[in-house]
Amino acid sequence: MLSSCSFVRGGSLSSMRHLTSRCENVARNAGHAHRFSFYSSQPTMHGTTILCVKKEGKVCLIGDGQVSLGHTVVKPNAKKVRRINDTILAGFAGSTADAFTLMERLESKLEEHPGQLTRACVELAKNWRMDKYLRHLEAILIVSDLEQSYTLTGNGDVVEPHDGIIGTGSGGHYALAAARALIDQPGLDAEAVGRKAMNIAADICVYTNHNFVVEILEKKE
């Protein structure tokens, strides 16, 4: 396949870019997932795994603490789960600075629309997608109260799960699958399901550790 690409020495930058584009097109058309590039990329930042579980009047939002840069653990005890107020929890995966900016915007939307989590999330998602500054922020938010749980993204998505379980971040798919398998087990409340699922995710995903931060919401009798 590489024989279809003509590599030359001493070519101009524009020529090199043209050849790079040709190679990528050849690989793409042949069904190859790998893309060729003459330019080295920066190491990828892998953030925290976040899981939200809702069961029998209790909400557990749990996140691990590992932040990795390439093959290096940068921080083992990051805190990316927080309590916004007495009734709302939030967690994030992605850039920490970007996520805190979005958290501040969410808090302001909640002040504008008190007691209306859905409307606040929709308004934030609209601003996130349309604002010239916010649209470049790279993070995913999970927001939950006792009634609703949502995933918010920069594409304008406000997604509510059908089963009250949300997983995102580096090991989010593993945690989500484990939580769904455990949710119907008798004797396990939302926190127990969340902790067991995150332990499974941490055992599988190299970008997830066992330093968990947990926030709980529970209906008062």
Give me the percent of the chain exceeding a pLDDT of 70: 78
Q: Is the pLDDT of residue 140 over 70?
A: yes
Mean pLDDT of 2-22: 49
Interior angle at CA 171, CA 174 and CA 184, nearest 5: 35
Q: Rounded CA gap, 175 and 52, in Å? A: 9
- Can you give the residue ranges of every domain in the chain? 45-218
Q: What is the DSSP letter of 213?
A: E
pLDDT (0 to 100) of residue 138 = 80
Residue 168 carries which side chain, given as an amino acid letter?
T
Reported as a pLDDT band with limits 50, 70 and 90, residue 17 is low
Q: Which of 3.50.50.60, 3.40.640.10, 3.40.50.300, 3.60.20.10 is the CATH number of 45-218?
A: 3.60.20.10
User: Residues 6 or more apart from 143 whose CB is under 8 A from it?
Assistant: 84, 88, 89, 90, 106, 117, 121, 149, 150, 152
> Of 48, 96, 151, 168, which is the active-site residue?
48
Q: Is 48 a catalytic residue?
A: yes
C-alpha closest to that of 173 among 146, 150, 204, 133: 204
Residue pLDDT, tens place only, 54-65? 999 999 999 999
Residue pLDDT, tens place only, 24-75? 554 454 444 444 333 334 444 456 899 999 999 999 999 999 988 878 888 8
User: Tokens standing for 221?
Assistant: 């009798």
* pTM score: 0.76
**Residue 160 in contact with residue 150, Cβ under 8 Å?**
yes
C-alpha closest to that of 196 among 165, 218, 217, 158: 165
